Amino acid sequence: MTLVENMFKYGDLFNVEKPAAITITVVDDRISVTTENKKRTGIRPEKHGVGIQNLENRLAAYQHYKLDIEDNEEIYKSVLQM
C-alpha cells in the first residue's frame, strides 16, 4: 500500500506519454508488485522519508522478500518481490 500511496502523492498521474502503472504478477508461490511513475514537476509535497523506511521495517518480518527502488530525476520505480 505504501508504494501505491507514494505513487499518488508524488507522481505525475496525468502524463499521457508516461502513465503511472501498477503491475502485480503471481508465479507459483511468489508475488511481485511493481509501481512506476513519472515524477511530478513544480511544487511537490515535502518528503519525510519515513514511508519507505516503515515499509522496510514491516517487511523485515518476512524472510524472503526483495525490494528494489529506482529513483532518479524523472522516474520512480519500485519492485517488491515476495
DSSP for 18-79, written as a single string: S--EEEEEEETTEEEEEEEEEBP-SS-PPP-SHHHHHHHHHHTT-SS-EEEEEE-SSEEEEE
pTM exceeds 0.85 for this model? no
What span, in angstroms and rounded, lies between the C-alpha atoms of 65 and 79? 10
Instruction: Say if residues 7 and 20 touch (Cβ distance below 8 Å).
Output: yes
Each residue's pLDDT tens digit in the chain (82 positions)?
888 988 988 899 989 999 999 999 999 999 999 999 999 887 666 666 687 788 888 888 877 888 899 999 999 999 999 8
| Segments making up each domain of the chain, as ranges | 2-81
Q: Provide the pLDDT for residue 44.
A: 63
